[in-house]
A and B are shown apart, each in its own frame.
Chain A
Amino acid sequence: MPAETPRSFQEIILRLQTYWASKGCAILQPYDMEVGAGTFHPATTLRALGNKPWAAAYVQPSRRPTDGRYGENPNRLQHYYQYQVLIKPSPPNLQELYLGSLEAIGIDMALHDIRFVEDDWESPTLGAWGLGWEVWCDGMEVSQFTYFQQVGGHDCHPVSGELTYGLERLAMYVLGIDHVMDMPFNDPDAPQPLSYGDVFKQTEEEYARWNFDVANTDVLLKHFEEAEAECKSILAQDHDDPKTGKRIIMAHPAYDQCIKASHIFNLLDARGVISVTERQAYIGRVRALAKQCADAFVQTAAAGVA
């Protein structure tokens, strides 16, 4: 039986957290860097590699500078939340587990039309792809469901099952809200009820202006080069740390630089200074970094190397 209809954005998040915790996932916290999607969190990208089992769920604030609409568009934001679940190896009942999460946030399967519609997922910047579906609820895409086949150019074995929920869109549907800024963020009966707009309207305006018109492109271009260079330099270090004498491959610090480069590229894109031809070249450079980070990670204990 479906749970009662939730009353706020945060209640939906809390229910998803509780649900996935009850299914054995480690509830992680968002990654502390700017990323374009929950997939970029190393708990997904890197942990999908190697043979060590993994199960994690987390909220990831995500930034897509080109999607900024000054908080005016009913469902487009430059900063939004994704809910991300990654389980390795993918369990045979992952579809049922997923449908259970929809029930947990109050979607009644007997009343709604839930569909798994083909969608092949690919991330050119991460050198990753997988097969799966968009999940539709009454014609609206509420999640991405993907079986990772490759990440950073490496075949995934075992295969991870990845679920990504676009939280604002899903919550608006569940709560019956037409404009994201009108959505109750906390309980509407709280002493201080806050809407999504109370929390984010101003920042959407500020960032939209900065993303589109103000961000210093010369500085960004320089940062991109620096992140790229630092990533390569980290990975070029000897695996044996001269100070501790331990074998320490710095896959994660290097990957941080890859994330940085990716986000800077998104910002440059929003500023409109990247031509169509250059675009492919930049994506290729970020992908090269992601690939090298993956190459490094698969040699570490976290990837299951004894």
Chain B
Amino acid sequence: MPDLLIELFSEEIPAGLQARAADDLKRLMTDGMVEAGLTYASAAAFHTPRRLVLTVEDVLSESPTVVEERKGPKVGAPEKALEGFLRGAGVSKDDLEVRDDKKGQTYFAKITKPGRPASDIVSDLLENTIRTFPWPKSMRWGAGPLRWVRPLQSILCILTDEAETQVVPIRVDDFVSGDKTKGHRFMAPAEFTVTSFEDYEAKLKRAKVILRADERAETIWQDATNQAFALGLEVVDDKGLLAEVSGLVEWPVVLLGKIDEEFLELPPEVLKTSMKEHQKFFSVRNPKTKRIECFVTVANIETADNGATILAGNQKVLSARLADAKFFWENDLRVAKAGDDMAQWTSALSQVTFHNKLGSQAERIDRIAALARELAPIVGADADQADQAARIAKADLSSEMVYEFPELQGLMGRYYAQAAGMDQAVANACEAHYSPLGPSDDVPTEPISVAVALADKLDTLTGFWAIDEKPTGSKDPFALRRAALGVIRLVLENGLKLSLKGCLERADEGAGAADLLSFFHDRLKVYLRDRGVRHDVIDACIAMPGNDDLMLLVKRATALSETLATDDGENLIQGFKRANNILTQAEEKDGVEYSFGADPKFAEDAAEKALFTALDQADGAIKPAMNAEDFQTAMAEMAKLRGPIDAFFTAVKINDDNEMIRRNRLNLLHRIRTTCGAVADLTKIEG
């Protein structure tokens, strides 16, 4: 059975789009082939900056013939109906078969769909795939209507079996498929013919192209680490950069160069960011001092001077860049050390709009500082220090370095606050207050950082809520979900006892506080669901008072979740439900709530009396447990009620003829409802 090879050769494809495009090519072609009946043994896709490649092994040489029977009209049906049927089925009357059906003699047509050669199927499929390829961003070029990520240059499409290699004929506008491709743009630009995938990959390698991205990445990493090791250095790991760089070259050539001595005193993060963002260099550091001393650049060509010219050029560009960075660093340090707590920067923030409806950065910082001050005692921070940290935490946004490298915000703030002579804990808050940035990011633990981080996020949330810029569906342009998750993690992982409602109302003057609290609850559900807590368990706890204290809420949910997994949980739920269901029915029927209190003196039956006693005992044990927020013990006590409750239901009839006794029993059930509902609203528990 033949193998299929496709290469779509184009001008340079952006590195970030290559892998997905290769997957899309594979998916679209193989799905289409299977749908057309063209099965195969295996398929693999590859990508380089200039090629998307698909190889499919052991493809059927043609799709199987399919015979399908179609039922027509009855014999003797109007001529028109028969004509229509014949037209639709594409057969003549002579081809029809007459058989008995439920309704009598009926025409049947046998329609034979002959198999199609693989070549025809692939040809149609590939043309369609090229014309409708799902590029996230595509373009036209020249005068043609075709769209591709960058101009397409040629199409190679061949089917190979033992006997021969056959070009699958495809025409897409001006492009006609063939069996030829080219090698490396500079080192082997000549065209060559390909007979199979093995032949293709081997010839490409001779023509200075490594087809496989993982092989290019591996080559880069090996060469880089070897060269660094020879100098007693190590390459700073960066998977994202490695993937990107292997998408920028067809023939990686690793070159290691030294960073000019005069730049080595820059913070390592500045060196790393500048080299990565602008030059796509890897950082190479001294494992002893942790200083970044060298860089690795990956060229796409072997040269007669072993890359000396290329390395010198790159070094020169780097020096110019780092000269800028050094200039910014020194200017910034001068401002930081001016002795006025970076006033030049903080005052400049009054000119920077945070959001046109939410005022300037300076106004926002005033709000954050006030909130941080209020939160300070709750998180165990000094209020004055929290206030000070909030006021300088965003000062670096005015610095030259952060203007040039926005991704260094916070980090530079820490360096500059240190240089300004601030307390280390205050300086740390500059960097830490942005955290956590996601579900796996570290959560700040230093009290001052926690206070500012909370204030920052709460201000963001209440602000955007107040101007009605809430996240909708997949749109969350201000990352408010992330901010809410940040608050949740800050509170929970630091074990903070905090009334969220108080914070939200203080910041928002009450307008959207309730809505925002339910947004927090939604985020909390997602957070807890990831930790195996059922949604009905969370709902049952959210329904309780004090639900703006996230610690308390999670404590309830965790205890309930754990209890439900035990016999106690089963007993609690069954006992509660039995009592609650009967009570609810009676309440609905009578239109009253039986919350008047049950009196043991009306208890007639021994089981009824025993239930009173059991409830008294339970209440006595539950109260201290609840006060100590020991929900598990409380629920264990509730679970003990199941026996007395069951005995009570077996022994007595609730709807006694004596109305006084009936009401007393219903009031007794209400006591069960109240006692068992102390931890969570059990009516919300499913099952």
Contact = CB atoms under 8 A, between A and B. Distances in A.
Q: Which of B153, B249, B313 has the most C-beta atoms of chain A within 10 angstroms of its own C-beta?
A: B313
A74 B313 CA distance: 16
A171 to B, nearest CB: 14
A1 to B, nearest CB: 13
A140 B315 CA distance: 10
Contacts of A140: 313, 316-317
B423 to A, nearest CB: 32
Interface of A: 74-75, 89-92, 95, 109-118, 120, 130-133, 137-140, 147, 149, 156-159, 161, 173, 178, 275-277
Contact of B150 (A110, A114, A131): A131
Contacts of B297: 139
Given A109-B186, A111-B309, A118-B16, A138 B314 contact: yes
A277 B151 CA distance: 38
Ranked nearest first, the 8 interchain pairs of A and B with the lowest CB-CB distance are A138-B313, A118-B14, A158-B143, A116-B12, A139-B314, A113-B299, A89-B143, A131-B139
A92 B142 contact: yes
B239 interface: no
B142 A90 contact: yes
A275 B351 CA distance: 8
A90 B141 contact: yes
A158 B151 CA distance: 13
B655 interface: no
Nearest to A173: B313
A139 B277 CA distance: 12
Contact of A112 (B49, B248, B279, B309): B309
Interface stretch (B300-308, B462-470, B526-534, B662-670): B300-308
Given A89-B141, A112-B313, A161-B141, 4 more contacts: A110-B303, A111-B304, A116-B11, A149-B140
B15 interface: yes
B186 A114 contact: yes
Interface in B259-309: 279, 297, 299-301, 303-305, 309
B606 interface: no
A159 B142 contact: yes
B352 interface: yes
21 contacts: A75-B320, A89-B143, A92-B142, A95-B11, A109-B186, A110-B301, A111-B309, A115-B248, A115-B249, A116-B11, A116-B12, A118-B14, A118-B15, A131-B137, A133-B12, A138-B313, A139-B279, A139-B318, A140-B317, A147-B141, A173-B313
Contacts of A118: 12, 14-16
Contacts of A111: 303-305, 309-310
B683 interface: no
B658 interface: no
Interface string B620-640: 000000000000000000000
Nearest to B356: A277
Given A111-B305, A138-B310, A159-B141, A117 B151 contact: no
A117 B309 contact: no
B581 interface: no
Interface in B401-448: none
A159 B304 contact: no
Interface string B143-156: 10000011101000
B353 interface: yes
A178 to B, nearest CB: 8
Nearest to A156: B140
Nearest to A133: B12
Nearest to B142: A89
Interface of B: 11-12, 14-16, 49, 137, 139-143, 149-151, 153, 186, 248-249, 279, 297, 299-301, 303-305, 309-310, 312-314, 316-318, 320, 323, 351-353, 356
Contacts of A130: 139
B138 to A, nearest CB: 8
Contacts of B301: 110, 112-113
Contact of A158 (B142, B323, B352): B142
Contacts of A89: 141-143
Nearest to B354: A276
Contacts of A90: 141-142, 151
Contacts of A161: 141
A137 B299 CA distance: 10
Contacts of A74: 320, 323
A279 to B, nearest CB: 10
Contacts of B312: 138
Contacts of B16: 118
Given A118-B16, A276-B353, A138 B140 contact: no
A115 B300 contact: yes
A121 to B, nearest CB: 11
Contacts of B305: 111
A158 B139 CA distance: 12
Contact of A149 (B14, B139, B248): B139
Contacts of A109: 186
A117 B248 contact: yes
Contacts of B15: 118
A147 to B, nearest CB: 5
Contacts of B316: 140, 178
Contacts of A173: 313
B139 A110 contact: no
Contacts of A91: 142
B262 to A, nearest CB: 14
A226 to B, nearest CB: 28
A116 to B, nearest CB: 4
A216 B206 CA distance: 65
B352 A147 contact: no
A112 B12 contact: no
A95 B299 CA distance: 19
Nearest to B50: A116
Contact of B137 (A112, A116, A120, A147): A120
A147 B299 CA distance: 25
B303 A275 contact: no
A113 B302 CA distance: 9
Nearest to B298: A113
Contacts of B14: 118
Contacts of A157: 140, 143
